[in-house]
Structure 1
């Protein structure tokens, strides 16, 4: 009897979803951005929301739900009704680093969501102050040599994005550059500029101003090829460190069990948005490369990076929090 009830309940959800999808969207949509107002993720979210509003012909309203490295916002999306009216941004922090480093975050990065689209990539870079005596990874390895523990990576927390990339680079180059954790990226950058720390992994978008001003320089970039924004800076893979050559990314997600016709409508709208040249150029100037990749691409990216990150953490005895 219980099995019959569950079957009927599931069928009713499917039928309701199919019916709703025929008229979707019929009201405003909330886009959950899991980071603070004014940051790069917020700028990306608001830009996407504007374009989705045009494509879907309904308001798409950004709601910032911050905290726990993006986990609070992701949890809000996971607990929302699967009707397409609450969607969210997924990042490498919310769907790879946080789930790999934390035992209890309130959601499963795969099972709690429906992937909609992978729509942007942001190259990560290894930055140093302008007078740091190395310009690439080969020179860094030679400089550090047997005294690599004399040098430091600034990062924004244990088992966080920058920490993991630093340890992966140490592995690739056979170095032991020390990690210095900070409560936030702004203080880490201040100390990087002041010489209190030597190196830092971060997304390119947060450093273009200092790079253009000649205050910082990049020793490598996570990209398939050199980027016009940083001419002469070689991809990490070309410098013998393919493990750190994965860029950061942004995806659009919905709660698990969102009806497929709704997902396809959202996926289509994202695809049309990122095809607009003006929209692409605006974000490229911030170091953000828009790409029209669908739900399957986002699902694969999350799965592949989750597996690799969890394996690296286990093999290198990095304790989960």
Structure 2
């Protein structure tokens, strides 16, 4: 009998982690290891260290993080930087101490400067000022990248990082205020239809442009990057610039996004944009040529993905995180 590779997915109940678990379970050669927050507090150094000593996992996907939209980032900056730093430090260091040689860290496109040249390439990191509304979260994610680079450089570990664009899909957080833009709008437009509301107000001018990727595509990309042999991965990166952008390479305005969601949900009222509210960065488009050169490209269009996500929301709206 072949021994299965034991793979720990940190954050398996989240949107990205659950998608990665679904993908990994398609392989007969993988045994997925998970722990709920109640079973393992990733912010607790002792608990995490003991977990790695006991479980002896072969690989790690670090998808656990405290995440939220512009309101949540503005309201809880201390939690966003502290929680994410603690999770990253504990998991990456304990994996190293336990002899885990392969790890994938999932970051965020917010690591790049607010006014980075578009589309944002990997070498834009640390070249300018971050977007103020989510700077604490971005700094924590940059620290995660540098942790992976440092353990790889000093100890020869194979710790990799992927920087996803804005993600959406099943198992997202659908809170009307503290979530990201797509799940928040899906829920608000749905409730507006149910309540027969004549109008719906969206934060900001609607002019900023954003790129979106369905979470199932993100899971596919993550597993693909981990499947590459180390030589091929290193040929496309460098010791001081080891992260890889993951996205579609296509963006749209928030106005276009809202109008598309309204169409899918069936909202017939008026959409109003509140220009008194902050917009965030004017544009955030990822340069994904490095990943394309490694042989991967996205497959789920925005309209198809939104339709899929709305159908999932309708089936699970009484149990979603809200």
TM-score over 0.5 for the alignment? no
Q: Give TM-score scaled by structure 2 length.
A: 0.32
Q: Which structure would you say has the larger Rg? A: 1
The structure, 1 or 2, with the larger RCO (C-alpha pairs under 8 Å, 6+ apart) is 1
